[in-house]
Amino acid sequence: MSISIQFQTMAFMSLCGIFMGMGFDTYHVIKGKGRFPLWAVFILDLLFWLSSVGIVFYVLVWVNDGIVRFPIYLGIIIGAWLYFLIGSKVYIRFLLTVLEWSIWVFQISVKFIDFLLIKPIEIIFHFIWIILGFLFTVLAKIGLFIWRIISWPLSPFVPWGRNLWKSIRGKMAGAKEKLKKWFTKENKE
């Protein structure tokens, strides 16, 4: 491996260390903002480190055909150390600002959608519900009025109709019992 490829490898591995540090800070800020159960934190930690190793190995294959030597580890460590020494606090402040801004944009978007889409639909349904309630009340009043007009001339016959209904109901109940007995006799034979 030539000296230029070695320097190129060290530079790229240092960049990988810087990006791993940024990814690590990003992951910890998001993990701190979200309330994850311990099993999810374990899985997310594992996924972070596996993806970091995969990205570093991909870059290593791209730069020097995947030859692993001690300077590669040194480059990653130097890159991560420089990042945590110089850029970590600035990046975390930037990341928190971006997250707060993103949350603000999301909340404004939700309020905007609520105001322009959901509230008008709720108002329309409420208006329809009021109209249907009004129509039902009017139709109920008209029906009650018609019922009173029809029932007034028939009111002398109401006691007679009640007695007639009681006798019909009694006979029907007896007929029902007779039919039950008749069907069960046939089934027993």
CA distances from 123 to 108, 115, 119, 120, 130 (A): 21, 11, 6, 5, 10
Has residue 77 got a pLDDT over 70?
Answer: yes
Asked if residue 16 lies in contact with residue 79, where contact means CB atoms within 8 angstroms, the answer is yes
**What is the per-residue pLDDT across 15-28, written as a single tens digit (0 to 9) for each?**
888 888 888 888 88
Give, as one character, the DSSP assignment of residue 83.
I
Residue predicted with more confidence, 123 or 60: 123
Structure pTM? 0.54
Q: What is the pLDDT of residue 157?
A: 64
Residue linked to tokens 């944009």? 105
* The two structure tokens encoding residue 48: 């972070």
Stretch 90-101: mean pLDDT, rounded?
A: 92
Instruction: Specify the pLDDT at position 26.
Output: 86
User: Is pLDDT above 80 for 112?
Assistant: yes
Angle among Cα 54, 60, 62 to the nearest 5 degrees reads 105
pLDDT (average), residues 155-166: 68
Output the pLDDT for position 52.
Answer: 85
pLDDT-derived band at 34 (thresholds 50, 70, 90) equals: confident
Q: Is the pLDDT of residue 149 over 80?
A: yes
Q: Give 85-136 as a DSSP string.
A: IIIHHHHHHHHHHHHHHHHHHHHHHHHHHIIIIIHHHHHHHHHHHHHHHHHH
More confident residue, 143 or 185: 143
